[in-house]
Each structure stands twice: as C-alpha cells, then as structure tokens.
Structure 1
Amino acid sequence: MSVLLQTGKLYLLRKPFSKSCSKYIFHRKKSDVPRKFISFDEIVAQRRAEARQSLVVQVNSESSFNELHGYCSKYATINDIHHYKNSAGEHFMLIEFSSEENLNNVLQSCSSHKKEIDVMGVQSPFLWFRATSVKEKYAQNVTHLAVKDGSLSVNEDVLFEELMNCSSVSEQIQMLYDRTVLNDIGVRLRYMVARQLETVFSSLYANIKVQPFGSSVNGFGKMGCDLDLVLTNTLTDDLTSQKNRLVYQEKKSEGGRSPWQRHMELVGALLELRVPGATRVQKILNARVPIVKYSHDLADVDCDLCCNNTSGVYMSELLWQLGALDARVRPLAGAVRRWARAAALTNAHPGRWLTNFPLTLLVLFFLQQPASGPVLPPLRRLVELAGKEDTRVAEENLNCTFLRDLNKLPTESYSQNTDDLQTLLFKFFEFYSQFEFQDKAISINEGRPVRKPNSLPLYVVNPLEPALNVSRNVSYEECERLRLEVRNAAWHLESCLDGHKSDDWGILGLIEQKASRGLKKLLRVGNSHRLVSMKDLFNDNDELEPSAQGIRSKLEKFKKTEKLTEASDVTRGDKKSEMKFKNSQSAREVYRIRRNKLI
C-alpha cells in the first residue's frame, strides 16, 4: 500500500495495491512536490471510493463474464471485473464502475425482489445475475477478467516446492510474503462489506461510517484473515452548528446497561434480519468492548463489528506506517508469524499463548535496536515530530497523536542498516534468545527495553495505551517455550549456512508444522539417528545464554556425534536396527508412511 522512492527509483512495496497507489500518483498535479510516501488516510479514502463505485454480483460461473459485462455496459462504463469463489464454491464478480454516478445508473435498472419468497426488500451492493431464456446479443467484448479466482489461497505443497527452489533464505522469506499476503481483491471485498453495512444502517444513524481496521488494512494481513470493523456516527460541525435553529429530535439512551451494549444488540438483530450474506451472528455484549461476530458468506470472510473503538483504527494506521518505512518489515513479520504458528506459539483460539499483535510488536521492537543501525524509529520520535494536523483523540480521551506524513521524517531515522532478510531473521531469533524477559518490558514507544512494572512473565507495552500490557494473558510456560523456540530457530538457520539444501532447508524447517517435521526428519535420517535434547545443546555448565559463537560450536559438536553414530552402525553391519517409540500410535504412523513410500 505504500510507495517508496529510493535512490531515484520507484519501488512498489505492496504489489496488490500498486494500482491504487498509481491512481493517486497519476491524479496529483505536476506542480506538486514529489513525495516518498502516501499517507494511510489517502489509501483508506481510495479504497472507500472504490467500494462506493463497485458491486458484487453472484453469477453461474466465470463464463458469465461476457454476458454480465455486456449487460452492465448498457448502463455504465466499467473499469474492471474481478472474479472469485467463496468456500461454498459459488461464483462472484466484483465490478468496479468508472464513477459512483455510473453505479447508481446500474442500480436503477435492478429489478425488485423475488415475489415467490417472503422477504422484506433491502438494497445493498451485493446482487445476483438472473438467468434468462431470451439470449441477448452484445457487442464484441475485447476486455478480459482482471482477476480469476482472486480469493484462492496458495496450495501449501506448491508453496513449499517454490520455497525449496529458492536460491537464498532471503528469497524464501520474500516469496512467502508475496504468496500469502492479503491481495487486492481481498481488500476490496472487505471494504465492500463495510460499504454494505453503511448502506443498511444509514437510515438509523446520522453520518454513519463503517471502517475496517486490524490486519485487513495494516499491511500485515494474510489471505483469509478475519475482518475487524468499527461503526461510528461522529457528528460533524455542520450537524452541531449553533447557528442552525432547527435541531433534530433525538432519542435518549435509557436503561441499566451501557448505551453501546444496547446499540450493538440492535446491530446484531439487524445483521440477522436485514443484511444479505450475514450468518452465524453472535453477540458478545459483556466484554470491555462489546462486539458482534458474524460470517459473511457472500464475501467469504469472518467479521468482528464493534462500536466507536477508533483507537483500533489509529493502531492500524501506526502499524501500517511502520511497515511502509522499509520494504523488509512486512516480509520479516510475515515469516515470524508463520514460524510462531507452526511452533504452536500462537493459536486461533484465545488462551494463555501469544497472539499475532504482540508478536508483530516484537518484530518492530527488534528492528528499532541500534546494534547495527535501526531499521525503524521509536514511536516517541513520531510523536515529537507531530503537528496540529496530526492530533487525534480516540474514545475515553485517548491521545493517538503521532506524525501522519512520513515525508517529514528525517531519513537518518530509519533504514540505517543494509542487512538482508535472512540476516535480520537470524538476528531476531538470536536477540530474543538472550532477552531478559524476567526483568525487561518491550516498548516500541521507547525503542529500547524498559523495566517491567509488575511480575507478569511477558510484558509488551501497548503503543497507544502505555499503561496496558497486550501480552498479559501469556503464561510462564508459554514465555519459556518462546525462549526455547527462538533458540531452536536460531540453531536451525545457522545450520543452513553451509549451503546444503535438505527437505527442511531455510525457512521450510521453521514454517512446517512441528509434529510432521519431526516425524519426517526421523524417517529421513534412518533408524541410527539419535534424538538430541535441545536442552543438552544449549544449557552448558557455565549457564550462559547462547551466543552466535556458542550456537555454531554446538552445531559442529552435534554433526560430529551424527558421524560417529553412523560409523558405528556400519562397523556392526546393522542393516535394520530396531526403532522404539513412546506409544503404538507413532509406530503405526511410521509404518503407514513407509508402506505408502511417502518418504
């Protein structure tokens, strides 16, 4: 979503958003001062404008493109048509028209609802294309689908094969990011869902606005990520002007529960009754921030809707800006999040483990360290440079002021090292393998470790609410497991320095599920392989934290042990040594894999 001008060349950091960014570049006047960065507000405005002039139409298949294009072309000019399928296998076309006026012309041609079905009519940007027995003839169509199967996730086997064929670990990390990042149609659909809610709720609330936030817009989202939405109806100066004598009558909120709880209860009922595509509505009204969870079957996305939680939007803006400052930030964060999921450090369900948000803050904090030149500035630097136009105040008078125009940020504040992605990933694991979690807290506000205010095992400061710990749910066991896993990951990456490509070469050994990776490695090396405890590798008598030199010496010691074991087996002439398992289930799994010759 960002455009970065470096050494006279134009780099598009986010390929899926290059087209939208190009629109802004082309629409600017020649007399405008050249800028390196496009602001978050400009990106949001562009995406909302796209949604206001777009429709989502359910069709029979992708072959309906020519007929749908010909039909809609009678009423309006079409920019692009994007095709996708939901998880039920139904086909949809996202049509972007040249203007909002063009879209209104198309909507005026829409027919009413089915008479044979008992429904209450509703207008929304989600339609369906009715079949007809009379075939119309349309002019020869010279355009083609902009995207086919746009929401299709990459096949894991294909992805692993591509990663295996990469020439370096840095190339692997970049490819993993490019193949899994939330693409253009994924972002478009999320803004279409927001636009649908605005259309349905506009008659109930003045100046209604529904805005996506979180991973869908902060640049760190992946294909299939959930959609976080915030509903606001902030009254503008025009609506609250003291000069106007005529004032709207209003309904006061009464009752024992919070007004926002009652509003979200109403919103949940409207989603069930009035919003096409909304299913499995669940109201969570007693939480600190009341939300309504639901699934949108037409857009094939799970949604969390809250009310007036604008701090989430500003947090998304901050993460987006930090990710836009350097092209290495988002691929590195994507690799770390994928590694954490494979190592079971994160979980899709809430609990005592890490979530993606504090894990992303861990990556940003590491990139702020001055050891070899900071890649990112601390948040306090952005606050210091903020002007009056950057002032933002969220709910409960929460100050969310920081520099919005990154072009005002001095170039010496960021990208001050030239390490490639492979080096950064290894240094990330090495940094946290030696981090003093028991005494220090992680704060991207300061860009350096700060003293923990309490005895919680992991303390990650909330950037916009420094008094809060975003990892307060993490248990002691999970924090210790994080320390162990970063050591194991550093050991694995250093083992790739010899250039030998095995089945778990590079990040393949980090992003593959831990259980399957261990079993495959056990079978690949043969029965003579000894299982070595990671505790034995890293805990020496000197009780020192492992350094890069220590990891390298332990790796060489482990390789010598392997060679001695293999030599002893050859001397004994053992062709088949008996393998022992802790349980019969593992033995059966090994036998099945061998029988099917999968490995």
Structure 2
Amino acid sequence: MFRLPMFRINSDPSIWPVENVAKYSSYQYPGKLCVKANLSIRPSVPSSKEMTSILMSCQSFDDQVSTFYHLTRLTELDILARFVLSDSIEEILGFIFRGTKVSIFGSVLNGLGSVSSDVDLVVKLPLNYDNLQYLRDTKSNYLTSDLYRTKIISLDPDCLKNRFLSFLQMMLKKLDPLGFKYSRIYTGRVPIIHLDQIRVLEVGLDISSLTKSTSMNNGESKHCGTKMAEILHFLTLCIPEIPKSVALIKYLARELRITRNGPSPGFTNFKLISLFINFLQVSNYAPSFIRLQSLIENSITLDSTSAFSAYTHFPDLNPFPSIEDVLSNFLVYVCSIKPCDIIIDLRNGCLTPRLESTSTEYTDHVIPHRRHYVLCPDPTYPQCNIWSGINEDHWSSFVQICRALQDTLKIQCNKNENSKWGLLALTDFDDCTKSKFVNVPDYYHLVDPIQS
C-alpha cells in the first residue's frame, strides 16, 4: 500500500522528529544550529503592556532598540523549527515527485527576521515528471483516496506546472485540516499559497513554486528570493549593526500601519529593507551588492565570531553611526529623493538618474521606466522591480509619515519618566492620524485570490 511519510508538524513541537541534521547545518547562519530532540520553542514575545514597561525602563534610545531587537529576534531553535517544517513538506512531496526540493528563503535566512516574521518557502519541482509516483493500490487510506488518485494521475506535466499550488494546498489541508483550513492562493508575478498563521509557530506562511520562468541562463533553476537571502545574510555578517536597525524600521512601519500582515502589492517589509539598504550604500555605511557577490563567489566565509573583522574586506566604509543618527539620516534620505527621477540601484550601491540609465546595464532588461513611480531593480533578477505597485500618492503618504517621525524624533528621543519617549513616542499617533498616512484598504483589490 502506498503510504506517505508522517507530517511532523503538530501542536507539540517538543516531539517533532528532527532529521537531516547535515542539511540544517549546511546553512551558514550566525552560530551553529543546535539540533536537539526537544525544540523548546519559547513562548511569544511580551505583550504590548509588558513591552511598554520594559522599554520605558531603558536608559537610552539605543538601549530601547537593542532591547526590542533581542526580545523579538529569531533564536536558533526558532530557526530550527522552521527548517523542520520545510523538510517535512519536502519529504512528503518527494514521495510523489522524486527529486522535489523545498527551501527556506527570506527573513528566516537573511538575518533580518523576527519571531513574528512569516515563513517563506519555495518548492523546486523536478524537471522530469516521468518519475511521478502513481497510486495503484486499491485499499487507499484517508489521505490517498480522493487527494491523489483523481488529482495527480490526470495531470500531464504542463497542466501540473500551472495547477501545482492548488494541489499542494489541497494536500496540506488533508495532512492538517485545522492548520491549513484558511489557506488561500494569491496570483501575481509569483503566485503563492498564503496562510495567515501556522498556529503552533504563530506566524504566517507563504509557499511558491519554481517554474521554468525562474530558471537561470545556464539552465539551472534558481529562485531569486533564495539568492537575495544569501546576499543579505552575508551583509548582516559583514555589518552586524544592520539587523538591529532593520528591526527598528520594521517595527515603526507596522505600528504606523505602513505595512500589514499577509501578501500586499503596497508597502512591504522587503521594499522598506531594500530602501534602507540603499540609504546605507549611498551613505557609505554598506557595500554595493556587486562587491558582496564578489566576496561570496570567492568563497569568503564569515560567521558571527569573525564579523568584527568584516571591515577588512571593505576598508573604505564609514563607521556605523548610532541608531538615533541612522534613523534621523534615513528619514532625511527618504524626504529628499524624487523616485520618479532616479533608480534605486542596490547592485551598484547608488542612486542613478533615470535619464542616464539609458546607456547602462538596465537597457538590457525589460523594466518600462514610465510604468513605475519607484524603480528598484532586484539585483538578482533585474527584470523585476522590487517597488512595483507604489504610485505617487503612496509615496507622498510615506514621506508624510517620515516628516512626522522627524519632528517627533527631535523632541522625544531622550528618556522621560513621566511620558512615553523614544521608540514608544515615535509610534504614539492616534488612529485617525495613522489612517491618513497610508490608505491600506486601497491595496486589497490588487490581490486576486483564487477560490479553490
């Protein structure tokens, strides 16, 4: 009888089988993943009231941001739990499509995630579907009865490629009916399965699949998100102050309702991170992606213990400033640039005038400049604009927020025993004011869910 492997994700992480230890340890994350039988996933971060009390007791703005970062950062066991989730899905799919690979990318790997960050997975299907596991048994169990016999055998490779996410969504619902009950499929440049929350991890989940359209020129499939995660991870090792700064930017964006949970063609953490990284590059606090990729290709390895010496690779960089100065200068940067006139160039680490870009590398890539108010080519996939979906009105609202933050930062950054200060004061706007900044509901019609 055809039987699938056990789905290891259940309500008690302490009994999740941890396998493929060599695979987990191959990821060069700061520190070595401590593989234990008991994952001991910690409880959620402090409540809003508890967090306020903790931050009010800090002695400086920098102390507040550092405390917030360490309270919300991913621990090694948090990361390991996400690897187990990825590996379990890969193991089950591998019984149906031999050679299937499931990889983690995004904030879990790039060093810029928090305990509340969504888990991003990409499924790489084998190029040859001839080794599909057909289900021939007549005594089908509750998983195989209607899930595979009628859904897989009838799919030829071309059809399967287009319907794979629907099949995967149905499979996950069968494996965990309660956990994946409210999953949805969203269309877009990269269609995904989205789940608002994996209950046991209390975070969202996004799953995409790798198709021929995302293959590299040499024929080897490569998801641009995994490559970007690799570069950003290397950057955080080179400049260990960056994760704390990014945690601040993401916190302000969520509290001020610039970003929201789930897929969005509007403002996202990834867009804001790309803008912040470019600010660091323009200010000579961070290297261009060309220089980072050169080190990666030359097999330069870094870990958390050697990160302090990273400036030996980039001796021309300016010393990283205080967190208050970083935020202040970033706000000035946002308010001063005119996106319609420039290209946010992560690859070269600069702001390139659009008129001059006609004679540069961007002429080889199909990104119609006039169609995008904010243009930031993905350095790993230049045909893609990271900031797609943001128009002039959205940007103007974003600048309005930054100007309000500038005013607050000037007068509320120092410790105050009697009222909210520092990080808490920066988000202490009333709901009516927040709603005027970015009209989030306007974005919803841009996301087209497929009813499965």
TM-score (norm 2): 0.69
Q: Is the 8 A contact 1:375 1:416 kept in 2?
A: yes
Q: Is the 8 A contact 2:14 2:39 kept in 1?
A: no
Are residue 511 (structure 1) and residue 412 (structure 2) matched? Answer: no
Larger displacement relative to structure 2 (352-361 or 180-189): 180-189
Are residue 197 (structure 1) and residue 89 (structure 2) matched? Answer: yes
| Distance verdict in 2 for CA 1:499–1:292, change over 3 Å | closer
- Aligned partner of 2:170 in structure 1 is 269
Partners of 2:258 and 2:50 lie apart in 1 by 25
Q: Which amino acid letter does the alignment assign opposite residue 60 of structure 2?
A: S
- Aligned partner of 2:386 in structure 1 is 470
The superposition leaves residues 174-214 of structure 1 with CA deviations (integer Å, 9 ceiling, x where unpaired) of: 11111122333332222121122123222111222212212
Say which one has the larger Rg.
1
1:501 shift after superposition: 5.2
1:98 shift after superposition: 10
The superposition leaves residues 335-381 of structure 1 with CA deviations (integer Å, 9 ceiling, x where unpaired) of: 111112222222335556311111001111111124xxx22100122
Where relative contact order (Cα < 8 A, 6+ residues apart) is larger, the structure is: 2
The sequence identity of aligned pairs, in percent, is 19
Alignment of 1:439-450 (within 5 A): 439-450=341-352
- Aligned partner of 1:216 in structure 2 is 108
- Aligned partner of 1:561 in structure 2 is none
Partners of 1:517 and 1:94 lie apart in 2 by 47
Q: 1:366 aligns with which of 279, 299, 307?
A: 279
Would you say how many aligned residue pairs link Structure 1 and Structure 2?
Answer: 368
Find the residue that maps to 1:279 and give its secondary structure.
coil
TM-score (norm 1): 0.54
Larger displacement relative to structure 2 (343-352 or 308-317): 343-352
- Aligned partner of 2:324 in structure 1 is 422
1:278 shift after superposition: 4.1
Are residue 379 (structure 1) and residue 274 (structure 2) matched? Answer: no
- Aligned partner of 2:78 in structure 1 is 186
Q: Is the 8 A contact 1:443 1:461 kept in 2?
A: yes
The root-mean-square deviation of aligned C-alpha atoms, in Å, is: 4.0
Partners of 1:145 and 1:254 lie apart in 2 by 39
1:384 shift after superposition: 4.3
Partners of 1:498 and 1:385 lie apart in 2 by 40
The superposition leaves residues 320-344 of structure 1 with CA deviations (integer Å, 9 ceiling, x where unpaired) of: 2222221210111111111122222
1:95 shift after superposition: 6.0
Q: Is the 8 A contact 2:96 2:133 kept in 1?
A: no
Partners of 1:460 and 1:490 lie apart in 2 by 24
Partners of 2:81 and 2:287 lie apart in 1 by 33
- Aligned partner of 1:492 in structure 2 is 408
Structure 1 unaligned segments of length 5 or more: list them: 1-51, 59-90, 102-143, 240-246, 391-402, 519-533, 535-599
The superposition leaves residues 445-466 of structure 1 with CA deviations (integer Å, 9 ceiling, x where unpaired) of: 1211112433633222222222
Q: Is the 8 A contact 2:276 2:330 kept in 1?
A: yes
Partners of 2:407 and 2:353 lie apart in 1 by 29
Q: Is the 8 A contact 2:13 2:39 kept in 1?
A: no
Find the residue that maps to 2:378 and give its secondary structure.
coil
| Distance verdict in 2 for CA 1:499–1:517, change over 3 Å | farther
Are residue 353 (structure 1) and residue 266 (structure 2) matched? Answer: yes
Q: Which amino acid letter does the alignment assign opposite residue 348 of structure 1?
A: N
Q: Which amino acid letter does the alignment assign opposite residue 471 of structure 1?
A: W
Q: Which amino acid letter does the alignment assign opposite residue 361 of structure 1?
A: S
Q: Is the 8 A contact 1:347 1:353 kept in 2?
A: no
The superposition leaves residues 233-280 of structure 1 with CA deviations (integer Å, 9 ceiling, x where unpaired) of: 457xxx9xxxxxxx9699999769654223333222222223576422
- Aligned partner of 2:239 in structure 1 is 326
1:150 shift after superposition: 0.8
